[in-house]
Chains A and B, each alone.
Chain A
Amino acid sequence: MRADTQERGSDAMTLTVDRPETVEQEPGPEQPKRLSGSRIMCEALVAEGVEIMWGYPGGAIMPFYDALPEYSIHHVLVRHEQAGAHAADGYARATGKVGVCIGTSGPGATNLVTGLATAYMDSVPMVAITGQVARSFIGRDSFQETDIVGITLPITKHNFLVNSAAELGDIMHEAFHLARSGRPGPVLVDVPKDVQIEEALYTPAVRPHAVPEGAGGEYARAADLIARAQKPLIIAGHGVIIANGYDELRSFAEKSGIPVITTLLGLSCFPESHPLSLGWPGMHGPAHVNRAIDEADVIVAVGMRFDDRVTGKLETWAPNARFIHIDIDPAEINKNVPAEVGIIADARDALRALVDAVAPADHTEWLHSIKRNARPEGPPKDTTFITPSTVVDAIKSATNGEARLVTDVGQHQMWAARFYGYNKPNSHITSGGLGTMGYALPAAMGVKAGCPDEPVWVVAGDGGIQMNIQELATIAQEGLNIKVAIINNGYLGMVRQWQQFFHNRNYSETRISSPDYALLTAAYGLQGRRVTEKEDVQRQVEWAMSTPGAVVLEFCISQEANVYPMIPSGGSVATMIEEPEVVE
């Protein structure tokens, strides 16, 4: 995306960047060209189709920034490198393309760490580029030297310290290839300053995208198990979204008649309005969904990894089930749950093969017996306060369900996951594996860049929003049309809830104050309002939608609202805490 095609809010600052129309195209793309390391980096980015990246300059990456304006890549100057990494992550999740972020050596690189760990846990394809001190300074504790390759070993799919400009081009292309192939993930490329200046020959070498195929016989065995199941379930995860397997999942569910559960990261891979949709499992999943898992005799798990927030105590989880596990990462098969049939494949390919392999079946009775147990969500019992479900309902109706919701971490995340009812593919974006507070606002910048014509809403808590609130400046500078809903309960709500349940209401260090968000937003040149009345919610959300540019709405909710039901960490359905009939 280029700067000139972006939506701009009325008050947005306009930036013009002087850059030549095109880069020299001679000689042809297949001919090796003699270039500086920084131009090799730029050429490789362009060859990989990169149109936008998020970053922050500094000493060790200056040669790259010197070359960048010659190329048609839109660079977004974030206000903190962590935000750059989250924005690249949001872009990648929304588009399926590789997200790119960049920072300087030392503190610039370490600021990327949380963003890399977030992307790694959720299998998000990303390339992070860091400047490094010049080769002759490495290992001497030089100014702004940090071993970022060492630091990010366990939180990247792979990483590189580039030793010469001659290997830089191949490493850049290899990084993109690794990031998007198989199970996607972040890859870091650390480039010493003198390597950015050194010249070498460069030939573009974009690697084709290859996905493994599952073994044919496994599908027959899977179909056999499915045919004999009385109480089967599908649990679909993030893998279905990554593989674009929406239609295939739907065909498989409809043909086999099997009810569908989606994990937190799988939300929006299957329309929640579909009669076979059951919602999500685990710690905050509705009781009837967890009870269904308890009873199920066959579970078809697609592109999910049996996270402990889904399973609770493994020994007591799904005690009657036999598992068919489909994942692109062989290491996921049998990692947490033993699979009777393990299929190593791209989720879409596997689902397509399963559609052909299974016989049409009907499990209406099983489906009804599950749904009969569902507790009606009903109108909120607490009438005085704004409830989280009112807010997400208002967003959904004001956007005709077309919005992409980017949520932060905490109670509001669970409420937004639970009450929204996702029907549009890939419309729910959140940090699931790492649970990174401060993720939503910067990630939304990437989502918006990837989907410029779709409404993008952030739903965040008053704690998490303050972790990266500085990005309102980036949003203003870029003129991004992002709407933000802050669910303000005056607490680090999710932690306060645990303190209430498990620590005798000892609310130690969870009370948190907030700035006047409307005033703060105005200071950034954007518009914001505080909403305190339930009756006002819908109107204000509509106002936000009709206001050009970014808008921040603060919704004041009850301080002690809880997320129900809840299975305590490491527990099971038997230890579930349900909502009390009367809310105090």
Chain B
Amino acid sequence: MTIASNGHGRTLVVLVRDNPGVLTRVAGLFRRRNFNIESLVVGHSETPGVSRMTVVVAGGAAEVDQVVKQLLKLVEVLEVRDVSDGSPLLREMVLIRVGADASQRTEVTELAKLFSARIIDVSHGSITLEMTGAETKVDNLVRLLSKFGIREMVRSGRIAMARDMSDYPVETVEALSA
């Protein structure tokens, strides 16, 4: 599984029972049905006993339809929501360590400031940054930092939430979800 490098693909929110093995079932389903999954992130949800997955599907509409329906057949899957429409809140987190000696430190710090990235570790030869944002922003940071030499990096994959539209004017809601 590779990590989504941009906002492309459909974003599914999958609520599952927090049972042992549920991740194996979901991952096994993707593997054996040969689905094109870009990223999969799991964590706790607001409900105890319910985990929340964010799944990014790279395929076309027919494939997304199958992913949703096949997921719903898993007994431990409680709900599947496609949140791609209606300008969802999409975020990714990255930890990135670049080579930087004293002479390069200011330049890296400047970049970090521009991206609202935080410096979380410094040594004589390296700087480690943390940043959260839209995936394209993460891409840009990674691109600009690459000239320093990326020693190590971890990207979380996409996490998502639909917008709370309860106090938006009706026309806006309709326009957004069109």
Q: Which of A34-42, A150-158, A457-465 has 4 or more CB atoms under 8 Å from chain B? A: A150-158
Interface pair B75/A334, CB less than 8 Å apart: no
Interface pair B73/A329, CB less than 8 Å apart: yes
Interface pair A158/B75, CB less than 8 Å apart: yes
Judge whether A29 is part of the interface by a CB distance below 8 angstroms. no
Interface of B is mostly: helix
Interface pair A178/B75, CB less than 8 Å apart: yes
Q: How far is the CA of A333 from the CA of B72 in the complex (A)?
A: 14
Interface pair A331/B66, CB less than 8 Å apart: yes
Interface pair A331/B32, CB less than 8 Å apart: no
Interface pair A331/B24, CB less than 8 Å apart: no
Closest to B61 in A: A334
Shortest distance from the beta carbon of B14 to any chain A beta carbon, whole Å: 15
Judge whether B28 is part of the interface by a CB distance below 8 angstroms. yes
Judge whether B48 is part of the interface by a CB distance below 8 angstroms. no
Interface pair A331/B62, CB less than 8 Å apart: no
Return chain A residues, CB-CB under 8 Å to B28: 153-154
Contact with B along A326-356 (1 / 0, CB 8 A): 0001110111001000000000000000000
Interface pair B72/A153, CB less than 8 Å apart: no
Q: How far is the CA of A178 from the CA of B73 in the complex (A)?
A: 11
Q: How far is the CA of A373 from the CA of B76 in the complex (A)?
A: 51
Which parts of B54-94 form the interface with A (CB within 8 Å)?
A: 62, 65-66, 69-70, 72-75
Closest to A333 in B: B69
Judge whether A149 is part of the interface by a CB distance below 8 angstroms. yes
Interface pair A153/B73, CB less than 8 Å apart: no
Interface pair A335/B66, CB less than 8 Å apart: yes
Judge whether B10 is part of the interface by a CB distance below 8 angstroms. no
Q: How far is the CA of A335 from the CA of B33 in the complex (A)?
A: 11
Closest to A335 in B: B66
Interface pair B24/A334, CB less than 8 Å apart: no
Shortest distance from the beta carbon of A157 to any chain B beta carbon, whole Å: 8
Q: How far is the CA of A157 from the CA of B74 in the complex (A)?
A: 8
Q: How far is the CA of A568 from the CA of B8 in the complex (A)?
A: 40
Q: Identify which of A150, A158, A331 gathers the most chain B CB atoms within 10 Å of its CB.
A: A331
Shortest distance from the beta carbon of B49 to any chain A beta carbon, whole Å: 14
Shortest distance from the beta carbon of B63 to any chain A beta carbon, whole Å: 11
Known A149-B21, A153-B24, A154-B28; contact A330-B72, beta-carbon cutoff 8 A: yes
Which parts of A317-332 form the interface with B (CB within 8 Å)?
A: 329-331
Return chain A residues, CB-CB under 8 Å to B73: 329, 331
User: Which of A150, A153, A161, A331 is within 8 Å of B69, CB to CB?
Assistant: A331
Interface size class of B (residues with CB under 8 A): 10 to 19
Closest to B71 in A: A331
Interface pair A150/B66, CB less than 8 Å apart: no
Shortest distance from the beta carbon of A284 to any chain B beta carbon, whole Å: 28
Return chain B residues, CB-CB under 8 Å to A153: 24-25, 28
Closest to A178 in B: B75
Q: How far is the CA of A22 from the CA of B66 in the complex (A)?
A: 50
Return chain B residues, CB-CB under 8 Å to A154: 28, 32
Contact with A along B7-51 (1 / 0, CB 8 A): 000000000000001001100100010000000000000000000
Closest to A185 in B: B73
Q: How far is the CA of A335 from the CA of B64 in the complex (A)?
A: 11
Contact with B along A542-565 (1 / 0, CB 8 A): 000000000000000000000000
Shortest distance from the beta carbon of A161 to any chain B beta carbon, whole Å: 8
Q: How far is the CA of A582 from the CA of B74 in the complex (A)?
A: 53
Q: How far is the CA of A531 from the CA of B32 in the complex (A)?
A: 46
Return chain B residues, CB-CB under 8 Å to A331: 66, 69-70, 72-73
Return chain A residues, CB-CB under 8 Å to B70: 331
Contact with B along A150-177 (1 / 0, CB 8 A): 1001100110010000000000000000
Closest to A187 in B: B75
Return chain B residues, CB-CB under 8 Å to A335: 66
Shortest distance from the beta carbon of B168 to any chain A beta carbon, whole Å: 30
| Residues of A participating in the B interface, judged by any CB pair closer than 8 Å | 149-150, 153-154, 157-158, 161, 178, 329-331, 333-335, 338
A-B contact pairs, 15 of them (CB 8 A): A153-B25, A153-B28, A154-B28, A154-B32, A158-B74, A158-B75, A178-B75, A330-B69, A330-B72, A331-B66, A331-B69, A331-B70, A331-B72, A331-B73, A334-B62
A-B contact sample (13 more), CB < 8 A, given A158-B75, A330-B72, A331-B70: A153-B24, A153-B28, A154-B32, A157-B75, A158-B74, A178-B75, A329-B73, A331-B66, A331-B69, A331-B73, A333-B69, A334-B62, A335-B66
